[in-house]
Structure 1
Amino acid sequence: MPLDMSKTLESGSALESGNAETNAFMSIPGKEQHGQPLEQDSIDPRHLEHISIHTPRRILFLYGSQTGCAQDVAENAAREARRMRFSASVSAMDDYDRSLLIREHFVVFIASTTGQGEEPDNMKKFWKFLLRKSHPSDALDHMEYTVFGLGDSSYIKFNWPAKKLYKRLMQLGAVPFYEPGYADDQHYLGVDGTLGPWLTGLWKVALEKYPIPAHLEIIPEDVIFQNSFSLVFDPKDKGMGMNMDMEKDHEPILDFNTEPGSYLATMIKNKRITDPKHSQDVRHIELSIKDPVFPGYHPGDVLAMRPRNLASDVNEFLKYNGWTEIADDPLTIVENLSDHRLPKHIPHRQTLRSLLTNHLNVFTTPRTSFFQLLVHFTDDEDEKEKLREFVSPAGQDDLYSYSHRMKRTIFEALKDFKGVKVPLDYMLDLFPIIMPRSFSIASAPLVSVQEHRQSARSHDADKIHGKKMIHTANGDLSADDNLEGELEWKVDLCVAIVYYKTKLWKWRTGICTKWLKSLQSGENLVETSTSAVESAPVIDAATTATTVNEPAQFWIRIQKGTLKLPKDPSVPLICIGPGTGVAPMRSFLHHRIYAQGATENVLFFGCRKRDMDYHYRQEWEQFEKEGRLKVFSACSRDQEDKVYVQHLIEQQGPLVWNYIHERKGTILLSGSSTRMPADVTRALQRVIASQGQMTIEQASEYLTRVEKEGRFQQECWA
């Protein structure tokens, strides 16, 4: 039934004002033109801003998101709220004006989990604010709220940020109006497996509490919302391509805006360290950072980088969509909505090619929201029906089979739905942003100082008499001393290239590791490569040039790791790091051995075959010969009965018990978050029970106490 355009909104309820601009909400279904809504048919949340924050039918969605998934959930939930005539706004928790919180009546919090049960970066300040002891217990007694968490049950601290947030809000007097939801990445449908049913219940409760005014109706599904951003091409610039940045009258065209805390790294080594015959390609990557203000890093820290899409993949995508001719024409990204800001690292002024190369991920598995929006961009009724089925509760199994099980990409989905024509102005709504990927650093900062002639600055440099001191294994050096060479840091990574077959035998690869594998290093330019390597891009905020015969450069950031060494180097250390989980262990062991002279170090390492994927074997064997490390390696496929690290831990029960009980040592665990952490935990419990003459229950409690003391730490990933 068409909405009655003649009706006026009454004051005092959601979307209600005597202001004529609210007529923009009186939309007639069916008048949109292939995803391009007519102006009078657009649902533009900008028109909601005049509504008082005290309006009962206002919902605020606050999210904490590390990879963009929680943000996607919040933005899509807000769109659904607007369809139900709620005034809805969206913000990252740290971007929200906290002084307004006491005026909010209806808030939905959406929080993801990062690291080992930690808050996302854009939630940390908000969470710290909530924890202030000065807040009275009734500070938020005017607020009704609920919480939705995104987590992975293979981690011990499953959905901790969301659970802690739910509890803290209640402590501050806020009243839950709907039960919390905790999505589990282990669900066969991923987040959507929990989110769909949870949202259905949420809207039922919300509409019962705040019904739609009698003169209004739910906005039909076939009416598309206003695009968050517009891509504006200047006709005067057509055909000028990348020469445009030479014109004085224009803002320069950039690939990236440099983010605070970012530093330019040069790839000096990109070497496969697994046997060529082995199914898994694992790379040892060395990066050089020469920025004089680079603060360094600590053992166990994490390096984050934003990958790029390969030029060949982008060219194919541009050609398929018919955008090749305009790919290099300058454009400006215009923000249309007050609560949808362009991420700070994305320049407003750039090209379509740069946007698809550096910022939009069209080679990832699409989320449900992708199919919800895609239905507006096809005129084919069969395709519309199929897309609507995918996003319906009854169609979730079909969506799983089509998308999740096959790990089908966005580009592949577009090619399957041939009637779809993506409007350029909806690209940033339809395609997710390429998010940073994080890797545990596999080197020690003090070792990098040694290997570069003591020319780098340390992470813990002190200000002494106005001079910056450099702590090295050979003593302290002043930055004012006459050092050879330029200041330089070396950072090592141990990276497994993601390349696998789906259950239906189709090959898939990860965007970041595919990009890393393609990059030229300084070593590649000297040695003869045995495989074709795509030209190495230089990602620089000041240029869009691509240099073929130079090592790759890209921006990196250093983040604090979750694993910490004992402060006293005489305290024994047990490292458990199968596969690429050995990366942070290498950082810790190098630091302990080279910089601290520690000798009571144990490493439990796991791989498939000793001669295929025993990462850094020569290093470990050399340390062992020198009496500075005990190594126990579980090569699971070298014998008939498979042997894993947990088996070796039990075999070395007396040593493990002595280190953790008698000597009060520290255990560090890193690696895959599938079965390994639980298997290792059970092995430790059995060792404690056996050696300490306890029951398994007592041993479990003992290990929990050790963990609370910070002597059993885990950093695992899916």
Structure 2
Amino acid sequence: MSINQLSALASPLNDQQIDQLKLAAAESSPQQLAWISGYFWGLSQSQSPAATAALSSNVLAAAKPAGQLTIIYASQTGNAKGVAEALQQQAQAQDIAAKLVSAGDFKGKNLAKETHVIIVASTHGEGEAPDDAIELHEFLQSKKAPKLPDLHYAVIGLGDSSYEFFCQTAKDFDQYLAKLGAQPMLERLDCDVDYDAAAAKWQLQVLEKTQQTLSTGAAEVVQLPVGQHQAATTIYNKHHPFSASLSVSQKITGRGSDKDVRHIEIDLEESGLTYQPGDALGVWFENDPQLADTILAKLGLEADTLVNVDGSTLSLRDALITQYEITASNPQFVTKYAELSGSKKLQKLVDDREKLREYAAKNQIIDVLAEKKTSLTAAQLLGLLRRLTPRLYSIASSQQEVGEEVHLTVGVVEFEQANEQRQGGASSFLAQRLEQGDAVKVFVEANNNFKLPVDDNTPVIMIGPGTGIAPFRAFVQERENREASGKNWLFFGDRTFTEDFLYQVEWQKYLKSGVVTQMDVAFSRDQAEKVYVQQRILEQSVQVWQWLQQGAHVYVCGDATHMAKDVHQALLTVIEQQGNKTREQAEQYLNELRKDKRYQRDVY
């Protein structure tokens, strides 16, 4: 008998209960339906008819999705998930029923059953949706997307205004939902890298709007099957980092290299911190005191001027060292300083967004201030600057191999500007200002979109030139410790074989032992014509295609601006030529690999 036949029969249930039962059945699997059937039969044998009917009514009412807030996060590295989790906690503190779900686990058609949805979305690559959100992003653009006149929604985006497609995924979701007739509860917020304060303020506003339109109901309690428990969360995170200590900082490029790449080891003893290959380590750093002094001198400000930061009083100099980004520039800083200084050069840049981004990327804060001498107050200076944010580094070790340690591969940012040396804030802190045994505040940032396959028999292709090699050192250590039988193929590239072959001895050991099945290298400056990893991929196109046909997972790590795009095009060419496909079919094939978690990228 189908559930639709219920209403045609004599039934002790009223029409509303029947409708609720239909809804519950539609959202349940056959296994769940069988369990529900047995559950109610057991109740009928052990309780009075009145009690059973009352409980049945309550359970059916609980199955009805009306009156609930659903928070969907589209996260590539974990920031959007963190904001979504904080939003759920705030909602529950205000007695708002709130369910948290990854975009990858949410079925687009179920939006029609929702009353209130908040989407927290980051943006990946060239304005692309994070891997977990691809299907939902595509569904909302398709003809299958339902009309949503009864849905109240809000969207918050996380991004970096230095990039062209700033918060593009959030903008897309906002546009798609509005086009489907959904009603915005609050204007979309596009957050920059220092998003904490803006996101916290928006959370309070959106939950206030949610309460105004949400029907009252108890907060949802999600019960796990017997024997399952929610994963315990560590007490250390971005807002409460662990004070670890530096064990090793070793240069691993040769004396003749024009790059300074460091192998960093950090002691995590007694932290309880755990990580998986593919995760990142967040590092809170302090700025160079000499740089802070130079900025103060350039603006004619006194170092001991007292300022208030988050309710604490400290000197302006200390604020610049510990609380604000004073190294890397950004378009917003250039725009604000152009207005305050009246610099014609900067004002001209502001009118051309592409040139503005290019200028901000090539010039540091100190260089922008040098464009025109200007007197600023302490408050004006701090108003120009972003708050300091931690840097995320791909972890270069497997915990099964190194225990209570974590390893990083850090390229020190160094270049000359206006006859002066410029350095990156975090990389110079780790490589030059931190001594062995010194404290460094860290936390683990999980990355569920860059993970080894669960099946150890699966072959993997790893493409990581330069410091992009870091997570693949972790991958290979992990696979060796797990005695994984799957084949491992590594593509590595850098400038020269003799000076820039990172972890060369280790890779030779892995090749000799068979842990690494094959390794193809490209050293761009060892011959007259430059050679890069994408060319090695094309040279091995027959074998790359064979591995893909065998179910191989492909991983790319490193530079997003050039390398990742070139590797992507090379993979498309391999698929097109070896798979006898059109370019459009090759793009679809690669997109399907992304959806299936067989093509994963960690690019920056």
Shorter chain as normaliser: what TM range? 0.5 to 0.7
1:625 paired to 2:540: no
**Correspondence for 1:271 among 250, 260, 265:** 250
**Correspondence for 1:358 among 322, 329, 335:** 322
Give the aligned partner of residue 137 of structure 1.
148
**Correspondence for 1:682 among 569, 591, 601:** 569
| Deviation (angstroms), 1:391 | 4.7
Conserved? CA contact 1:407–1:508, under 8 Å: no
Structure 2 residues without counterparts, runs of 5 or longer? 1-73, 81-85, 98-118, 132-136, 141-145, 194-235
* 1:587-630 residue CA offsets vs partner (Å, 9 max, x unmatched): 11110012334351110111121111111111111111112211
Give the aligned partner of residue 207 of structure 2.
none
Structure 1 residues without counterparts, runs of 5 or longer? 1-63, 71-91, 101-108, 121-126, 186-256, 334-341, 377-382, 450-488, 523-550
The separation in 2 between residues aligned to 1:398 and 1:679, in whole angstroms, is 25
Give the aligned partner of residue 439 of structure 2.
553
| Deviation (angstroms), 1:149 | 7.4
| Deviation (angstroms), 1:96 | 8.7
Give the aligned partner of residue 176 of structure 2.
167
The separation in 1 between residues aligned to 2:296 and 2:487, in whole angstroms, is 57
- Equivalent position SS for 2:500: coil
**Correspondence for 1:517 among 431, 448, 451:** 431
* 1:5-41 residue CA offsets vs partner (Å, 9 max, x unmatched): xxxxxxxxxxxxxxxxxxxxxxxxxxxxxxxxxxxxx
* 1:485-525 residue CA offsets vs partner (Å, 9 max, x unmatched): xxxx11111111111346x8765322211222223443xxx
Which deviates the most, 602-611 or 163-172? 163-172
| Deviation (angstroms), 1:136 | 9.7
| Deviation (angstroms), 1:259 | 5.3
* 1:332-365 residue CA offsets vs partner (Å, 9 max, x unmatched): 54xxxxxxxx4xxxx6243333211101123332
| Deviation (angstroms), 1:557 | 1.2
The separation in 2 between residues aligned to 1:262 and 1:608, in whole angstroms, is 36
* 1:280-327 residue CA offsets vs partner (Å, 9 max, x unmatched): 111111111123433x10111001112211122223334455555625
* 1:677-715 residue CA offsets vs partner (Å, 9 max, x unmatched): 232223223333343343444333322222221111111
Length-normalised TM-score, structure 2: 0.63
1:705 paired to 2:568: no
- Equivalent position SS for 1:443: coil
* Mapping 1:298-697, distance limit 5 Å: 298-321=276-299, 323-324=301-302, 326=304, 332-333=308-309, 342=310, 348-365=312-329, 367-368=331-332, 372=336, 384=342, 386=343, 390-391=346-347, 396=351, 400=355, 404=359, 407-414=362-369, 416-422=371-377, 424-449=378-403, 489-501=404-416, 507-522=421-436, 551-561=437-447, 562-598=449-485, 600-629=487-516, 630-661=518-549, 663-697=550-584
- Equivalent position SS for 1:495: strand
Conserved? CA contact 2:162–2:330, under 8 Å: no
The separation in 2 between residues aligned to 1:165 and 1:321, in whole angstroms, is 42
Measured at CA, do residues 494 and 279 of structure 1 come closer, stay the same or move farther in structure 2, by a change above 3 Å?
same
Measured at CA, do residues 371 and 691 of structure 1 come closer, stay the same or move farther in structure 2, by a change above 3 Å?
closer
The separation in 1 between residues aligned to 2:155 and 2:439, in whole angstroms, is 46
| Deviation (angstroms), 1:442 | 0.5
Measured at CA, do residues 707 and 320 of structure 1 come closer, stay the same or move farther in structure 2, by a change above 3 Å?
closer
* 1:551-574 residue CA offsets vs partner (Å, 9 max, x unmatched): 221111111123111101111111
- Equivalent position SS for 1:363: coil
The separation in 1 between residues aligned to 2:157 and 2:481, in whole angstroms, is 47
- Equivalent position SS for 1:612: helix
The separation in 1 between residues aligned to 2:89 and 2:375, in whole angstroms, is 35
The separation in 2 between residues aligned to 1:705 and 1:318, in whole angstroms, is 53
The separation in 1 between residues aligned to 2:426 and 2:163, in whole angstroms, is 25
Amino acid at match of 2:392: S
Give the aligned partner of residue 218 of structure 2.
none
| Deviation (angstroms), 1:184 | 13
The separation in 1 between residues aligned to 2:270 and 2:192, in whole angstroms, is 41
Amino acid at match of 1:518: Q
* 1:162-189 residue CA offsets vs partner (Å, 9 max, x unmatched): 31243235446237999x999999xxxx
The separation in 1 between residues aligned to 2:384 and 2:562, in whole angstroms, is 35
The separation in 1 between residues aligned to 2:386 and 2:379, in whole angstroms, is 14
Decide which structure has greater helix share. 2
| Deviation (angstroms), 1:649 | 1.8
- Equivalent position SS for 1:564: coil
Conserved? CA contact 2:162–2:361, under 8 Å: no
Measured at CA, do residues 113 and 348 of structure 1 come closer, stay the same or move farther in structure 2, by a change above 3 Å?
farther
Amino acid at match of 2:555: L
The separation in 1 between residues aligned to 2:156 and 2:511, in whole angstroms, is 54
- Equivalent position SS for 2:458: coil
Conserved? CA contact 1:406–1:506, under 8 Å: no
| Deviation (angstroms), 1:403 | 8.9
Conserved? CA contact 1:281–1:496, under 8 Å: yes
Aligned residues: 448
Report sequence identity in percent. Answer: 26
Amino acid at match of 1:556: V
Measured at CA, do residues 303 and 115 of structure 1 come closer, stay the same or move farther in structure 2, by a change above 3 Å?
farther
* Mapping 1:173-322, distance limit 5 Å: 173-174=182-183, 260-294=239-273, 296-321=274-299
The alignment yields a C-alpha RMSD, in angstroms, of 4.7
The separation in 2 between residues aligned to 1:369 and 1:320, in whole angstroms, is 17
**Correspondence for 2:123 among 85, 91, 113:** 113
**Correspondence for 1:714 among 580, 601, 604:** 601
| Deviation (angstroms), 1:279 | 1.3
Measured at CA, do residues 152 and 351 of structure 1 come closer, stay the same or move farther in structure 2, by a change above 3 Å?
closer
- Equivalent position SS for 1:326: coil
Length-normalised TM-score, structure 1: 0.53
The separation in 2 between residues aligned to 1:585 and 1:593, in whole angstroms, is 12
Conserved? CA contact 1:363–1:410, under 8 Å: yes
Give the aligned partner of residue 196 of structure 2.
none
Give the aligned partner of residue 230 of structure 1.
none
Measured at CA, do residues 395 and 706 of structure 1 come closer, stay the same or move farther in structure 2, by a change above 3 Å?
closer
